[in-house]
Amino acid sequence: MSCDVEPRALEFSYSSLFESHPDMQSVFLPFTGLVLDDLKKSKLLSEHALRVMGAVQRAVHRLEEPEKLHAFLSDLGRRHDKNGAKLEYIDYIGPQFLSAIRPILGGDWTAETEKAWTLLLGYMIATMKQALLEARNASASEGLKPMALPPSSSSSSTAAMDD
């Protein structure tokens, strides 16, 4: 499976994604408040399209090493916790990616190619989402933990009350 796809294809495809899901724009914080036309031209968007392509390429290179592939995608998913991506946003990337590469492959796009890319994207997305969800659950339960008092201060305060 090779991944020599022109990154601009994904960039354009992203623009249409933002048209159908405008709330996704807010994740790209520096561009909050800009109109869609500005966002389409933004460097951040094209850089992220490149990053997605790079991540797909790295995943393809790790296909023979499932443990490394899983670790890479889990780590990427966890990092998106900080980026503020909602779980469902990650789902949108799969169909966008497929519709971006389909016209480029033209006659080479077969039912088998489609199945292979759908499986890879599906696995990437499911693994990233799982790790993102676990990271969110972990930080939510972190916030629920009771505050631990240092042992010395609790015993000294009891001693003071006993006097």
- Nearest CA to 13 among 37, 43, 49, 57? 49
For 141, counting Cβ atoms within 10 Å of its Cβ (0-12 exposed, 13-18 middle, 19+ buried), the class is: exposed
| Identity of the residue, 28 or 117, whose beta carbon is nearer to ligand HEM in the bound complex | 28
The tokens 């490394």 sit on which residue? 68
| Identity of the residue, 69 or 80, whose beta carbon is nearer to ligand HEM in the bound complex | 80
Which residues have CB under 8 Å from 45's CB, separation 6+?
11, 14, 15, 28, 31, 39
- Select the residue interacting with ligand HEM from 41, 51, 115, 136 (CB under 6 A): 51
- Nearest CA to 137 among 87, 68, 94? 87
Which of the residues 76 through 115 are near ligand HEM (CB under 6 A)? 76, 79-80, 83, 85, 89-90, 93
52 binds ligand HEM (CB under 6 A): yes
| Identity of the residue, 44 or 138, whose beta carbon is nearer to ligand HEM in the bound complex | 44
- Nearest CA to 46 among 23, 15, 17? 15
Query: Residue 121 Cβ, how far from ligand HEM at the closest point, in Å?
Result: 7
123 binds ligand HEM (CB under 6 A): no
Provide the token pair at 40: 């389409």
| Identity of the residue, 21 or 115, whose beta carbon is nearer to ligand HEM in the bound complex | 21
Q: Where does this chain bind ligand HEM (CB under 6 A)? A: 24, 27-28, 44, 47-48, 51-52, 54-55, 76, 79-80, 83, 85, 89-90, 93, 124-125, 128
